[in-house]
Structure 1
Amino acid sequence: MLETMRLLLLGLSLSAVSLTADAKDFSLVEHGVTANSDDVQTAAIQAVIDKAAEQGGGRVVVPRGVFRSGALWLRAGVDLHLAEGAVLRGSGDISDFPTCQTRIEGKVQPWRPALVNAKSLNSVRVTGPGVLDGAGKPYWAAFWKRRAENPKCTNLEVERPRLMYFDGCDGVDVRDVTLKDSGFWNLHVYRCKGVVLEGVTITAPHGDPPKITGDAQPWDEVSIDRAPSSDGIDVDSCQDVVIRRCTISVGDDCIALKGTKGPLAMEDASSPPVENVVVEDCDFQSGHGVLTCGSEATIVRNVVVRDCRVGPAIPLVRLKLRPDTPQLYENLVFERITLDGAQAIFDVKPWTQFFDLQGAEPPKSVVRDVVVRGLRGTVRSLGELRGNEGDEIKNVTLEDIEVEARGSRLRVGDVEGLVFKDVVVNGVPYEAEGAEHE
């Protein structure tokens, strides 16, 4: 598998170089768009993108300044470049994101598009060093208001735009851009092949949710320091993905590998497996998981996470095992990771939020061939490694690990082939019940 990953990295790096050929620039301000205006200029910005496509392609440049917009759609042969000092800011009015068929939470359904969208394009490219700003506070306030009314509300009850969404594209290259304050997920790729996300910085506030309830004060005046469902990168039903040199600080999953859910998930042709993913040299500063599988996921295989730094309260390996979905997670490698107060090495356990068996018998999920090696640093606990009744977890290896842990117990369920090699916790060789020690 590692040789496959090496070839993947080489191939995607070379393909990305081919996208840098000289192309004509179309500056927004030179084509009728006003910088630093309070107006939402969606139509004017879209017109520049469309003009570039009509003239054979090129690079649409967002120059220094602030430009407000609703949903934009990239076209064939058109790259988007945010220059130094450029801010493309999302509108706070949801009507500027007209409902369309889009992929959300494991289904293609009517919902709101992102600020920047691309569908069925080849070699689509978005570059920085400028900023995509979701200006998400109005959407966060709407969500928390609804949550106060109904603590069991789902994500889909309050429509909120993402920052970037790529659907069915072959060759996605996003580099050196900053994404901040998205109304919902940040960067979502669905059914794409050959994806390079490099040098991307993603931030969203991740403090406590507002505690206000009722009519104590208008919600648009509430101080909100947490963006709900602020996933950093969602890799949904994609193959051949490289995520490199990215910095992520959000209030939900840093990287989520997604598919679909439900008892018939394996039969869903719209959700092919997530395969061949490399995550390397990234800084994870805040989030619910370095790499999370399972809110919606069916088959995830051939994943390497390496040479990364993990900050406080973030679990490293987070696998959600849904009791209503047959899931297969296999060939996962986590290596050479530095932990700085991370939540846990493993967060592998049943995930029962909003599950629905639809009258079917509980399916079986499988986790196999997981390797965690070369860990150093500090961690709150070793975590949990267990599934639902009937799930199969096998061939899990921990190797060359030296960590300080506040809680040194690994909670292990029914795991076949759990192997420890040179694992030292709090200065002492670690021995787990039921594990092989070498």
Structure 2
Amino acid sequence: MKSLYIFTLLIAFLHPVKAQEYDIIRYGARTDSTIIQTKAIQKVIDKAFAKGGGVIVIPKGTYLTGALFFKKKTSLVLQEGAVLKGSDEIKDYPFIPSRMEGQSLRYFAALINAYGVDGFSIKGPGTINGNGLRFWKTFWAHREEMKKMGKKSTNLEVSRPRLIFIWKSDHVKIQQVKLRNSGFWTTHLYQCNDVLVEDTNIQSPFKPVPAPSSDGIDLDVCKDVRIRNCYISVNDDAIVIKGGKGTTAHQLPENGIVEDVLIENCTFGPSHATLTIGSECIHAKNITMKNCVVENNCPILKFKMRGDTFQLFENITIDNISGTCGAVIDLNPWSQFFDLGGSEAKPFGIIKNIKLSNIKVKSSKFGEMQGNPLDQVADFSFKNVEVTTPNPVLKNKYEDVKFENVVVNGKPIVH
């Protein structure tokens, strides 16, 4: 009897039960891209959840939908030629508790939402298209109107949805999918552990209408993240490390560290920066980007140093990068939406143990390291770096910056 039990377990291990698939066409959705199908697709998700979980399959065709909410033990597969196309009506995205720009607040749901769905996955080779053009046009029109009135506009004043928002979910996988034209951030992961983004192509346009704030991947209070074999080109930062902002951000339980991130074998097209740390980040640790190609005119590594937030960035490694870029390093104050909130605190940033090595690029400039007056930089090094640029000077005000075998325009830098 015991042997039979062990044999049964062995068979189960070698031949795991395949999750039930729910093809949305077989469960009531229609191959008609002109009608909104949010209710029909959500009904399939809910049915799968009620039966213990399953894979929601989007077959070939274009399906127009508003916000979809995935439940425990459900996942998403988009087959070849399948397109989930987001509605361009904000009314199709509920206004609910959420997280945006380093703050916990109410905001519009994303096109794809997963809250507390451990093991959630999105797999291609199909496409999730945010259909963001109408949102972008509204955003820029509002900005222009505020400018005429002598006022500034925040990113949240024009209502627009993200493409994907995954919250408090562990063991997440996003693989072999095409992510396009998000109304706002493209992929936002908040309070997630063990994340894999692999073989994924993320794009939003710079013209004819730029896609504002369409960050490629935003990691917000996340741990153990791997991003590999991806192509990212968006009209904002490609990969962004977040986690909170404000004078008390480091004391609030909803904020926190982003650590143990590996970015490898990726190609980065035009964006605002390849890897950005800081605009809404209180603590980043153990971040590595290696074996990547840059094909753009933006910084490889960008630190946004907020004067209204205590920040600690440590153990950052950039290794084996080649191609064309804007700057190798950009470390500067970031004053967008600066707000001390009436506090008399004097926030500052600490940056330590940063290594840039084995970099060979053509760039528009070497870069800048000019943080806020109270910011501290220690153990920052450049090793085996070869740069060809019309602006060879590194504008640096910090002492603890080391150079080893750094050559700019054929001439070694000696410090």
TM bin, normalised by shorter chain, reads over 0.9
In structure 2, C-alpha distance between the alignment counterparts of 1:242 and 1:21, rounded to whole Å: 27
Match of 1:388 among 344, 353, 372: 372
Q: Which residue in 2 is equivalent to 1:41?
A: 37
Q: What is the number of residues matched between the two proteins? A: 396
Structure 1 segments of 4+ aligned residues over 6 angstroms from their partners = none
Letter of the 2:285 partner, please give it. Answer: R
Tell me the CA shift for residue 310 of structure 1.
Answer: 0.8
Q: Which residue in 1 is equivalent to 2:23?
A: 27
In structure 1, C-alpha distance between the alignment counterparts of 2:306 and 2:346, rounded to whole Å: 10
In structure 1, C-alpha distance between the alignment counterparts of 2:186 and 2:347, rounded to whole Å: 31
Unmatched runs of 5 consecutive residues or more in structure 1: 1-17, 208-223
> Does the 8 Å contact 1:387/1:393 carry over to 2?
no
SS in 2 for 1:135: coil
> Does the 8 Å contact 1:298/1:325 carry over to 2?
yes
> Does the 8 Å contact 1:334/1:373 carry over to 2?
yes
> Does the 8 Å contact 1:321/1:387 carry over to 2?
yes
Matched, 1:400 2:396: no
SS in 2 for 1:155: coil
> Does the 8 Å contact 2:136/2:209 carry over to 1?
no
Q: Which residue in 1 is equivalent to 2:189?
A: 189
1:257-276 C-alpha deviation (Å, 9 max, x unpaired): 00111111110111120010
1:396-428 C-alpha deviation (Å, 9 max, x unpaired): 110011121121000001x24211111111111
1:53-108 C-alpha deviation (Å, 9 max, x unpaired): 11121111000000010000111111100000000000011000010011001112
In structure 2, C-alpha distance between the alignment counterparts of 1:103 and 1:21, rounded to whole Å: 36
Match of 2:68 among 63, 72, 79: 72
Tell me the CA shift for residue 314 of structure 1.
Answer: 1.6
Matched, 1:345 2:328: yes
Q: Which residue in 2 is equivalent to 1:418?
A: 401
Tell me the CA shift for residue 374 of structure 1.
Answer: 0.3
SS in 2 for 1:156: coil
SS in 1 for 2:48: helix
Q: Which residue in 1 is equivalent to 2:180?
A: 180
SS in 2 for 1:292: strand
Q: Which residue in 2 is equivalent to 1:244?
A: 228
Which moved further from structure 2: 269-278 or 358-367? 358-367
Match of 2:248 among 264, 267, 271: 264
Q: Which residue in 2 is equivalent to 1:15?
A: none
Amino-acid identity (%) = 39
Matched, 1:154 2:137: no
In structure 2, C-alpha distance between the alignment counterparts of 1:327 and 1:170, rounded to whole Å: 26
In structure 2, C-alpha distance between the alignment counterparts of 1:181 and 1:37, rounded to whole Å: 17
Tell me the CA shift for residue 353 of structure 1.
Answer: 1.3
> Does the 8 Å contact 1:263/1:360 carry over to 2?
no
In structure 1, C-alpha distance between the alignment counterparts of 2:235 and 2:154, rounded to whole Å: 16
Q: Which residue in 2 is equivalent to 1:55?
A: 51
Matched, 1:323 2:319: no
In structure 2, C-alpha distance between the alignment counterparts of 1:37 and 1:348, rounded to whole Å: 46
> Does the 8 Å contact 1:60/1:81 carry over to 2?
yes
1:316-350 C-alpha deviation (Å, 9 max, x unpaired): 1100001111100000000000132x000111011
Letter of the 1:184 partner, please give it. Answer: F
Letter of the 1:22 partner, please give it. Answer: K
Tell me the CA shift for residue 315 of structure 1.
Answer: 0.4
Unmatched runs of 5 consecutive residues or more in structure 2: 1-13
SS in 2 for 1:161: coil
CA RMSD in angstroms comes to: 1.2
In structure 2, C-alpha distance between the alignment counterparts of 1:347 and 1:419, rounded to whole Å: 16
